[in-house]
Amino acid sequence: MQPQALRRRLQPEQSHEVASQRRGAPRPCLAQARWADRQWVKRQCVARLAEGTHPERLRRPRLRLERPFCGWGRTVGGRPRRLPGQRVRLAVPLGQSGAARQQPQSAAERCAVGRWALLAVPSPSPQRAQPHREGEPSVQPVCGLPPRGEDLLGGHSAAGREVSEPPGDQLRRHPDGHVRSLSDPTVEPDRQDGPLRPEGALDPLARSPEVHTFAEGGRVRLLAESERRSRSQQRETRHQRDHPCPHCRQAGLPQSGVRYDLIIRDAEVWSSAGSLRADVAVRGGVIEEVGSLPTARAWEEVDAAGAWLLPGAIDTQVHFREPGNEHKEDLESGSRAAVLGGVTAFFDMPNTSPATTSAEALEHKARRAAGRCYAHFAFYVGATAENAAQLGDLELRPACCGVKVFMGSSTGDLLVEDDATLELVLRNGRRRVAVHAEDESRLRERRPIAEERADPSAHPEWRDVDSALLATRRLLRLAERTGRPVHLLHVSTADEARLVAEAKARKVDVTAEVTPQHLILYAPDCYERLGTLAQMNPPIRDSWHQSALRAALLDGVFDVVGSDHAPHTLEEKARPYPKSPSGMPGVQTLLPGLLNLCWEGFLSPQQVVRLVCEGPADLFGIRGKGRVAPGFDADLVLLDPNEGRVVERSMLASKCGWSPFEGELLFGWPSLVWVKGRRVVAEGKIVGEPCGEALEFDL
């Protein structure tokens, strides 16, 4: 049937369309009626364009529609896709005809023209309902639309007059019917561009054909000036529904049926219990499902094709040198190296300049890390004789992972040498205390050995096995007396491993860490090849100790593996021994180094996940980390265990620019790394922005 508003005004021209609806005549189907409406309105528009009374000629406000983004449907013949019988639910005038519009610049954005309108931009000046007055329309304007009875194609149906407006000047029609110039100072600046639109929103009709609307029975319908499309053009196929638009997927535009942000398909998902071939779905940075998800859709979908998917590694001991020694390393460069190696969280040590020994220093470090770290972060607070009584409060500060004790030489006043101070530290607080155990008095006594020999191979002789044993015995005795959990860092001797195993058998709450350097390198070979580059504290020892550490690792003596990433520049390392600084980088090679031991048959993937993923998370109570399971954060590493790379300086992200494993073939380098569901690494390159957050702890 004819549009109500236009039927009143143009009765003489309607006889053909309404003839079939006389009493007793068969009622046409709805589709036929709509087709007749389109043809009739098309003829009227063409006629009015010819005589100069078309709204486009009068510069009347257009009706612009907000549409949702599409699934597969693009435009057909230059027109937005619309399904049979589809109706526009709401339309509002937006700005002035001929005004500048934001144009979609890509195919993906043009897909956003969509299939049907569900949203509407609010009116610039919503009107309150007013009491009816005699002689005025009985229906109030809604969202800027004229009242019922007013012809949207020009004028009021009762007036029968044309509206002319001065050409060459942009005009604005206020909802109350008045026309104002945009240059009128009485027009508020924030209302000169029409109704509010979200920043960056697209004009969905910017590249669509001219459309006209008319009101009928309180509804708004869309009529396009184009020929009718075939049913094959209007109908979505099952294939199109099952395979979302690639342009939208690449640009990150919403699609119909999309539920997740990321799906990794057909991955070998590893845990300490074994592996599972599964899909992993992520939304909002959290893993939601692990299993078979053939029909699920996501913005980012990765076909793993059987590659290994591991939780992001957690490195519980790094020295990123900030603040004070940023020429060696800083939080940005250190975290960049971390994610390139599959490490998505780290604990930074307090021996910076100034040392991290107060609440202010912790807050300062956390502020520096925010927005610059590619991996999640936490910081140790250093124990001293001065702050021992406050450590219970300091360890609970935001971004603090616990207390670090240096029983051997370190930076500033971080040395805790006597048992009285150490016991005071252990009695203040309840979190696990990390300890570097070397006896300071014995190190002082044996310093002349290093000075006389002036050779890096003397390093394990100066800092001998007894230096480590004396400190470890004292620590375990005090831990047993106070009941405080302790964590022994970078165990380097067979004797220490034996002491830890015996203490665990006595139910002493002690855990221990070993580094890849002590598992892979051995003396004197490393000192002959690397010189001072192999110098670290505690030192790399001979192959007998290396074999004992490997055996203890398999026996479960060690709970975690940490890199002890402690970089120094090549110029600093070139100083003559013992003036050369101790320490070597390792955060980027932590995971590949351990996976290389898997390739050699020494470790299993389950053990690697336990040592650098699940173990650190459980040991320190890190919230939401360490597992590929629903409810855990989507810190994920995808890798091919059979892909080997030779370590070269060009691939290293650390500021120091070198590695003790340079020239070695290591297997298990990450192909893709996600931090909270955001891709940050692809094929050995940083592809994302820093998105690391402060770690949270349940203990």
- The catalytic residue positions are 564
Helices (H) and strands (E) in the chain, counts: 22, 27
CA neighbor of 8 nearest in space, from 146, 291, 215, 180: 215
Alpha helices in 373-439 (DSSP H): 391-394, 419-426
Query: Beta strands of 14-170 (E only): which ranges?
Result: 63-64, 75-76, 79-80, 92-93
Characterize the bridge pairing of strands 685-686 and 678-682. antiparallel
List Cβ neighbours of 238 (8 Å cut-off, separation of 6 or more).
none
CA–CA separation, 405 and 415 (whole Å): 7
Encoded tokens for 69: 């983004």
Place of tokens 């001072």: 532
Place of tokens 């969509």: 114
Q: What angle do CA 616, 622, 626 make, to 5 degrees?
A: 55
Neighbours of 560 (CB within 10 A): 25
- Per DSSP, 135 falls in state T
CA–CA separation, 481 and 472 (whole Å): 14
CA–CA separation, 534 and 550 (whole Å): 19
3-state secondary structure of 188: coil
Q: What angle do CA 211, 213, 219 make, to 5 degrees?
A: 140
* Terminal-residue alpha carbon distance, the chain: 72
Place of tokens 């529609």: 65
CA–CA separation, 613 and 45 (whole Å): 69
Neighbours of 289 (CB within 10 A): 17
Q: What does the radius of gyration of the chain's CA atoms come to, in whole angstroms?
A: 36
CA–CA separation, 672 and 663 (whole Å): 23
Residue 358: φ, ψ to 5°:
-140, 170
108 neighbors 251 (Cβ within 8 angstroms): yes
Residue 362: φ, ψ to 5°:
-65, -45
CA–CA separation, 271 and 290 (whole Å): 13
Q: Give the distance from CA 446 to its chain's centroid.
A: 51
CA neighbor of 658 nearest in space, from 578, 612, 589: 589
Dihedral angle of Cα 147, 151, 153, 155, to the nearest 10 degrees: -100
CA–CA separation, 463 and 260 (whole Å): 54
209 neighbors 78 (Cβ within 8 angstroms): yes
